[in-house]
Structure 1
Amino acid sequence: MGCKVVQTGFLVCLLSSSVVQGDTDYRVTYSSTQICALQGSAVDIRCTYTYPSRIKEKVTVVEEAVWFTKMNRDEPIDLMTDSQFAGRVQYRCDKNSCTLKITDLRNSDSAEYKFMFRTNQPGWIMIGSPGVTLSVTALQVKVTDTSFWYPSWAEVTCSSSCHLSDHGFYVWYMNGETLHTKTPSTDKYFEKSDSIACAVKRYENFPSPSLCVHESPCSSVVYTHRSICVPKGSSVDISCTYSHKTLVLTNFWFSPERSRQLYHSQPEDLREDSHYAGRVQVFDKRGRSTLRIRDLRVTDSAQYQFKFTARRFEWKSNLPGTTLTVTALQVQVTRIISVHQSHTEAELKCHSSCSPAAHLSYIWFKNGQEISKQKSSTYTDYFYPGDKISCAFKGHEDHRSPSVYPSKLPSMSVSPSGEIVEGSSVTLTCSSDANPEAENTLYKGNQSLPLGSGGTYHFTSISSEDRGFYDCKSDDQSVSLFMDVLYAPKLLSVSVNPSAETVEGSSVNLTCSSDANPAATYTWYKEDEDSPLYSGQIFTITDFRAEHSGNYYCEAQNTRGRHNSTVYLNVASNSWKFPVALSITAVCLAFILLFLLLWIRRDRSLKQQPQAGEGPDSRTEMDEIQYASVQFSTRQPDDVYSNFSPGQTERYQEESVVYSTTKPNSTTGTRRQAAVEDPSALYSKVVRK
């Protein structure tokens, strides 16, 4: 956090967008630091902020919260008062969060947006820096590839200057007609006169300009403006350029909304629509068409499109056109500065639903008389009983806002005064002394709360959920009040990081969090130890050892009470020994098993070999025994004897049978004599080989 003293005497602290525990509890956190949005669309920029509940026994109250992009003499310029954003900016702030909404985005809106809040503590302005960088982009179609061999084939890509954070599927339009492709690129065969455009799904009203794929001119319609905002009662010109390779036969302007209202299946020329009778003109010259609508009404707010036909061609109506918004002004009460017995000092705002493109200045009227000094959208003054206030755009004085009667503007009060504690009984009053009598309504957010007699709303036992902004609305006026509810810490939780079993020598972070107002302070203890270990939300043990095992508890405390939560830590100092020992055992068993298998195999091999000292006769004996077993298992003539005559086969079988009956226990001399006298013995040796 960097701080500096500015000339105004304030100490300005620039806070990083990341949440870092510092010496103070002041901080600003943005939900995103980089945002890319489409030109013409809307964007939400969000942040949360915190501050100390009290400093030196003085309760902290936020007195001002603004968004800004520029500063004037070290003071932020509130976007609500910046003429560049007139009518396009809204704040939605509640509790410790604030959202900036910008509509009808323009390229000039690309900037760094920062949030500032000021408290009642003397000398502090808190600014979240760096802020949120907003980049406003427009879609473009680029021809990324063509083919020399197939001139009609091309690949096109829908691109933007930055990465859209909310992009999904894409929509493609060829000659104004929707294609079925949903990817950011597509390739197909194009005719020489075809044009292509693209849009992002859910943002179809902000497509790219149509691009000629092969040659220019091609069939295309390009609108001058995608959106236009104009005051009620004024006139507007909506224009486009169009082209085609042959003569255009017919063209007209239409509104898709009007066609749906009238249940027409085909677009209808506005010049033939009774709703626009006498108020519509069309000017057409050299490929440029202009639709002019006079005496605009709020019901004229719609989308307007251009359509043309040529010989064997019709421009389709799927590609969005120009969106027109007709706005009517209203006077709103933005802030009550002071209330006195005879008068009220208040700040008023001339509000419109959109910002006119002409950047019109404002005119204020008090009791029918123009207030010449007031040219901006805000007006601060003293208002007495009977005063009537209205406003208008300069040049459109005949279309003023409805008058308000701020003889005494709506007011809100809380009883009893002072700090509101959870569980206590509280009465909220929403009233107005306007003349004529106004109907008052109490809101929290979008929820309407029923008012009793005297405009009161009673909380029998107020809770933390009742904390927030309340709006008292009277006709076209409203005032806001933030009701703060103090409560002791609750929903206390303790988390451990890393969450797995703690290894000896590692680092452990214990984090304590709770819901409390004012913000809680945290103290860490270990069971059976009286003195605290640490004061702070995050407790870190850098070198965790066996003696650190045990129960740890965090105590959250504020001015309304205290609460604690416990977590158990266990050191796994020997956790590595078991898997290592298991691995060593497995390896040893594998070696033993391998040794046994090799030993058994060697033993069998030795048993099959002849013993030392045995002569050739013993080898012959083994051969004869082996052959005998073969002859007994095969009694049919084998194919190898197919060249013998039947008589020879029979003689061989008989001789071999005689040989097979030779006793393995015969003496060596007998075997040798049989081998000489019996020719089958010679044959048996040939067969064995």
Structure 2
Amino acid sequence: MVLRTAGSVLVVFLWSVAVVLGQNGWSVTYSTQSICTLKGSTVDLSCFIRYPSWHKVKTTFWFTKKYDVENYVNLRNDPNYKGRVMYRSDKTNGHILTITDLRERDSAEYKFRFITDQTGEKYSGYPGVTLSVTELQVKVTTTWWSTTLTCSTTCTLTGNPTYTWYRNSKIVQGASSPSYTVYFKTEDSFYCAAKGINSNAVSVEGHSYFHVTYTHQRICTLKGTSVDISCSYTYPSGHTVSEINWYTKGKLNEASQILSPGYGGRVEYLGNMQSDSILRITDLTEEDSAEYKIRFRTDQTTWEPTFPGTTLTVTGLQVKVTPATVTEGQNVTLTCSTTCTLSDISNPTYIWYKSGHVTTKSTSLFLNPVSSEDAGRYSCSVEGHEDLPLLKRLSLSHVRMCDPSPVVFFS
């Protein structure tokens, strides 16, 4: 078993035994039968295939949906997984599916299918791997003398991870136990984390005291667009909110920056101010990528929550070429790439241009195949955002980049 963490990404990779046997030497062996992991993390599902030695595998894919007898939906072509899946294989007939930025709707049974060069010879591994995606939630249990906080999930996390408890963003307990007990009343906020993924934050006073809930923990959006970062909050009865401020958390030794309405002509505050607030930023740049938080002042006190806010990532579009080195007569695949998975555009439509003219509109971010006979200048954009500003020019072997996304030129 291997667990690896990158930032707030939890990767679960398991080696246990779950075998699906076929007849006449055909089989799919999955590394595990079930996995429970966290929303926002990354997971690897793996299997090993067996087939007659005189066959050669031509096509492999993972799937969760089957609409008809031979109508399987390759995860690569499923818009719900766009830009979030990757296939890998090795020389020992091992095959790995990687899914990033997991959502709760990704919970499903994942199966592997392969097709050989012999007519009609194909095989699917049933049953597959059951993936359950859950979110960390803090549940509060109060007695007359203490309050117990429990880091809860809807299924038992695979790998028995260690839970870490934070009080005002400082670690107060790191142990295998998902529970933490407080024996005193306090205005501090608490939250838990497992392998880099944070839960919601609570006060031991419950919702009768100050509490902020951010609508989104992370947002990925395009350079040049606008974004709404929102939250709701509660506070003790008898208080009246008199002032709201959004700010970016300071980076390294930098001080926090207050984003007052009208700041730089790009910031606006929306909402009723008494229970919810929205920070709208227009004409986004990559420098706007940061963690955004709120603090407010009532007629009795000033309160600044210490738990995580909303992390905004602003990305541009780039055309990537596979393989990277293009030779004459070789087919390549073009990918309309971003540095993160767009979260504010549901099922985006990608527009491909050749020599400045629209050639394709599709929900697929791939243009494939492109050959030397299709020589021209290629670029891409997202429908509704065709007029984004010029991105940084890049230069690769046989490749030239420019607007509206970097442009690929085959000579």
Give TM-score, length-normalised by structure 1. Answer: 0.48
Identify which of 63, 67, 70 aligns with 1:68.
63
RMSD over aligned Cα, in angstroms?
Answer: 3.6
Q: Deviations over 1:244-277 (max 9, x none)?
A: 2234455422333xx224x13x53314499xx73
> After superposition, where does 1:33-112 map in structure 2 within 5 Å?
33-54=33-54, 60-73=55-68, 74-95=70-91, 96-112=93-109
Identify which of 379, 387, 400 aligns with 1:398.
387
> After superposition, where does 1:184-583 map in structure 2 within 5 Å?
184-191=178-185, 194=187, 196-204=189-197, 206-208=198-200, 210-211=201-202, 213-214=204-205, 216-245=207-236, 246-248=239-241, 250-256=243-249, 259-261=250-252, 263-264=253-254, 267-271=256-260, 277-284=264-271, 285-309=273-297, 311=300, 314-317=303-306, 319-333=307-321, 347-357=333-343, 358-359=345-346, 360-371=348-359, 374-380=362-368, 383=371, 384=373, 386-399=375-388, 434=398
Amino acid at match of 2:355: N
Report the CA distance shift for 1:117/1:22 in structure 2 as closer, same or farther (over 3 A): closer
Answer whether contact 1:229 1:355 (CA < 8 A) is retained. yes
Deviation at 1:187, TM superposition (A): 2.1
Match of 1:685 in 2: none
SS of the residue 1:69 aligns to = strand
Deviation at 1:281, TM superposition (A): 2.9
Answer whether contact 1:330 1:401 (CA < 8 A) is retained. no
Between the aligned partners of 2:297 and 2:257, the Cα distance in structure 1 is: 14
Deviation at 1:45, TM superposition (A): 1.7
Between the aligned partners of 2:383 and 2:376, the Cα distance in structure 1 is: 22
Between the aligned partners of 1:47 and 1:163, the Cα distance in structure 2 is: 22
Runs of 5+ in structure 2 lacking a partner?
Answer: 1-16, 402-406
Between the aligned partners of 1:66 and 1:476, the Cα distance in structure 2 is: 29
Bigger shift: 289-298 or 380-389?
A: 380-389
Answer whether contact 1:207 1:320 (CA < 8 A) is retained. no
Between the aligned partners of 1:92 and 1:190, the Cα distance in structure 2 is: 52
SS of the residue 1:168 aligns to = coil
Between the aligned partners of 1:403 and 1:241, the Cα distance in structure 2 is: 37
Identify which of 119, 123, 141 aligns with 2:138.
141
Match of 1:165 in 2: 158
Answer whether contact 1:364 1:390 (CA < 8 A) is retained. yes
Report the CA distance shift for 1:119/1:327 in structure 2 as closer, same or farther (over 3 A): farther
Kindly indicate whether residue 47 of structure 2 is the aligned counterpart of residue 31 of structure 1.
Answer: no
SS of the residue 1:277 aligns to = helix
Answer whether contact 1:232 1:399 (CA < 8 A) is retained. yes
Identity %: 38
Between the aligned partners of 2:358 and 2:389, the Cα distance in structure 1 is: 12
Greater fraction helix: 1
Kindly indicate whether residue 176 of structure 2 is the aligned counterpart of residue 181 of structure 1.
Answer: no
SS of the residue 1:108 aligns to = helix
Between the aligned partners of 2:278 and 2:375, the Cα distance in structure 1 is: 47
Answer whether contact 1:238 1:291 (CA < 8 A) is retained. yes
Answer whether contact 2:349 2:362 (CA < 8 A) is retained. no
Greater fraction strand: 2
Report the CA distance shift for 1:31/1:375 in structure 2 as closer, same or farther (over 3 A): closer
Deviation at 1:133, TM superposition (A): 0.9
Deviation at 1:112, TM superposition (A): 0.8
Larger RCO: Structure 1 or Structure 2 (Cα < 8 Å, ≥ 6 residues apart)?
A: 2
Give TM-score, length-normalised by structure 2. Answer: 0.78
Between the aligned partners of 2:382 and 2:389, the Cα distance in structure 1 is: 8
Report the CA distance shift for 1:373/1:243 in structure 2 as closer, same or farther (over 3 A): closer
Aligned length: 373
Deviation at 1:137, TM superposition (A): 1.0
Between the aligned partners of 1:324 and 1:403, the Cα distance in structure 2 is: 20
Answer whether contact 2:221 2:342 (CA < 8 A) is retained. yes
| Structure showing greater Rg | 1
